[in-house]
Amino acid sequence: MRAHEAGALHGDLGTREPAWLRTPDDVNALVPQLWSRTVTRADTGDLTVGGVSVRTLAAEHGTPAYVLDEDDLRARCRDFAAAFAGADVYYAGKSFLCKAVVKIIHEEGLFLDVCTGGELAVALAAGFPAERMGFHGNNKSMAELSRAVEAGVGRIIVDSLDEIDRLTSLANETSKRPSVLLRVTVGVEAHTHEFIATAHEDQKFGFSLAGGAAFVAAAKIIDEGVLDLKGLHSHIGSQIFDTSGFEVAARRVLELQAQIRDARGVELPELDLGGGFGIAYTTQDDPSTPGDLAKRINKIVDSECELADLRVPRLSIEPGRAIVGPSVITLY
């Protein structure tokens, strides 16, 4: 197995021609899983999106240009919302964010995850309710944290003891009590490329479970009583097709949740398992449907809570590219 810049699934190049590069029987045929739902090829041979020729779009707007299929985007939002009924589905804004997308996400009833001050500004300017946002980022500035507290962002995902101290200071100054999730590094090597795996122990994101930092951080927040610790958060990587990584992550995070309960008498009500669900970039990729993902992840959480004698927390997930990736094409 050799590393490959396109991802782990393409690493086994050997001397044979990779399946995803083989010449198709019909070079003009559209492979459904690689395109948005309204993309077709007209009798003239032109590619159309939502019934509009890409030639017309290129002539009107120039190239390069992103073309977003709104019908497809809305359908994928609804698919995730329906599959994960009872959970909070956060659209991960880092995958693609502009005011138009923010408004669609809001209209479809999803939550929104932002990870920079710029993304937060776009979301607020588009009228997205701050209480339905989560604010990520492992290097948030004081100004960004201040804006998030001022706006009333629903969940701030804390990544370091320094950030906890800064946020605590802001809370004391403003007499507000921000709700936070504690990002945990669970030591899971997701089945993805090493450059986009985010949960192994040498990562810059979050608090280590193995080293005990995660428990120390949770105890600090609870003992100080200034911030409102709602739950734990993990994110194991991107372009993940195998849910076994989520099973290991959920088990380890819930073990910490049980440890916090036993040591501090607090049973945290929320659990965020992140996103990173894979999409099809080649004919070799076989992504799960939202329904399949929900069935497997809910089963994992339920069984792990039963083993740990915990109440099942409210679940959050954060699909980004799994919602918007197939809905966008680029014109050159």
| pLDDT band per the 50, 70, 90 thresholds, residue 157 | very high
- pLDDT of the residue at 31: 85
At 191, list the tokens: 């089945």
- pLDDT of the residue at 127: 98
> Contact, 263 vs 310, CB < 8 A?
no
- pLDDT of the residue at 191: 52
- As a whole-number percent, the residues of the chain with pLDDT over 70 amount to 88
Output 197 or 130, whichever has higher pLDDT. 130
Q: What is the pLDDT of residues 165-194, one digit of tens each?
A: 999 999 999 999 999 999 999 887 655 444
Listed range (16-20, 41-45, 226-230, 294-298) with the worst mean pLDDT? 16-20
Query: How far is Cα of residue 245 from the mean position of the Cα atoms in its chain?
Result: 15
Residues 307 and 20: their CA atoms lie apart, in Å, by 42
**Average pLDDT for the chain:** 89
Say how many CA atoms lie within 13 Å of 227 toward its Cβ.
Answer: 28
- pLDDT of the residue at 237: 85
Summarize the confidence of residues 193-216 as an average pLDDT: 67
Q: What is the pLDDT of residues 92-108, one digit of tens each?
A: 999 999 999 999 999 99
Which pTM does this prediction carry?
0.88
Parts of the chain belonging to CATH 3.20.20.10: 71-327
Q: Is the dihedral of CA 26, 73, 78, 280 positive or negative?
A: positive
Residues 59 and 98: their CA atoms lie apart, in Å, by 22
- pLDDT of the residue at 43: 84
pLDDT at residue 21 tops 80: no
> Contact, 205 vs 185, CB < 8 A?
yes
Residues 230 and 68: their CA atoms lie apart, in Å, by 35
Output 83 or 249, whichever has higher pLDDT. 83
Output 195 or 308, whichever has higher pLDDT. 308
- pLDDT of the residue at 242: 84
Report the DSSP beta bridge partners of residue 183: 233
- pLDDT of the residue at 14: 47
At 16, list the tokens: 């044979």
pLDDT at residue 195 tops 80: no
Cβ contacts of 85 within 8 Å, gap of 6 or more: none
- pLDDT of the residue at 227: 98
Place of tokens 């009798």: 43
Q: Which is nearest to 42 in space by CA: 26, 33, 32, 55?
A: 55
| pLDDT band per the 50, 70, 90 thresholds, residue 130 | very high
CATH topology of domain 71-327: TIM Barrel (3.20.20)
pLDDT at residue 204 tops 70: no
| pLDDT band per the 50, 70, 90 thresholds, residue 45 | confident
HEC string of the chain equals CCCCCCCHHHCCCCCCCCHHHCCCCCCCCCCHHHCCCCCEECCCCCEEECCEEHHHHHHHHCCCEEEECHHHHHHHHHHHHHHCCCCEEEEEHHHCCCHHHHHHHHHCCCEEEECCHHHHHHHHHCCCCHHHEEECCCCCCHHHHHHHHHHCCCEEEECCHHHHHHHHHHHHHHCCCCEEEEEEECCCCCCCCHHHECCCCCCCCCEECCCCHHHHHHHHHHHHCCCEEEEEECCCECCECCCHHHHHHHHHHHHHHHHHHHHHCCCCCEEEEEECECCCCCCCCCCCCHHHHHHHHHHHHHHHHHHHCCCCCEEEEECCHHHHHHHEEEEC
Q: Treating both helix axes as pointing N-terminal to C-terminal, what angle do 142-151 and 117-125 enclose, rounded to 10 degrees?
A: 30
- pLDDT of the residue at 120: 98
| pLDDT band per the 50, 70, 90 thresholds, residue 17 | low
- As a whole-number percent, the residues of the chain with pLDDT over 90 amount to 74
Cβ contacts of 329 within 8 Å, gap of 6 or more: 35, 36, 39, 49, 54, 66, 67, 69
Cβ contacts of 59 within 8 Å, gap of 6 or more: none
| pLDDT band per the 50, 70, 90 thresholds, residue 196 | very low
Listed range (25-29, 120-124, 140-144, 179-183) with the worst mean pLDDT? 25-29
